[in-house]
Amino acid sequence: MILLQTQQPQGPSLLSNLLLFGGIMIIFYFFMIRPQQQKIKKEKEFRESLKKGDKIVTIGGLHGKIVQIDEKTVIVEVDNHVKLTFEKEAIKSISPQNS
């Protein structure tokens, strides 16, 4: 009697699956996570560099000059003797204008 052995079809090995998954995670890190971390670090450094007298623009588009700065807030003069208090996170950039 002759016994024929049939081979079971084999899928990709466990090692190749792990390498594929690891490669996807590395790509995800370099294209998604790392750039976001760098952006957050850059924004934090910008907010820490703010000083009294800087002319700024808020996220809402309000232009003014910093007259007082605290740990989490800034007081911005927007007109003669009109002062508003903002969170530091609300400051978008240093004003390009000298107005």
pLDDT tens for 36-69 read 999 999 999 999 999 999 999 999 999 999 999 9
| Cα atoms in the Cβ-side hemisphere of radius 13 Å centred on 85 | 4
Domain 52-99: which CATH number of 2.30.30.100, 2.40.70.10, 3.30.1240.10, 3.40.50.800? 2.30.30.100
Domain ranges for the chain, please list them.
13-49, 52-99
How far apart CA 66 and CA 84 sit, in angstroms, is 10
Question: What is the mean predicted confidence (pLDDT) over 59-83?
Answer: 93
Confidence of residue 14 (pLDDT cuts 50, 70, 90): confident
Write phi, then psi, for 29 (nearest 5 degrees): -65, -50
96 falls in which pLDDT band (50, 70, 90)? confident
Mean pLDDT of all residues belonging to the chain: 88
| Strand-pair partners of 29 | none
CB atoms within 10 A of CB 91: 22
Strand partners, 66: 76
Distance between CA atoms of residues 88 and 65, nearest Å = 13
Strands in 4-94 per DSSP E: 55-58, 63-69, 73-79, 82-87, 91-94
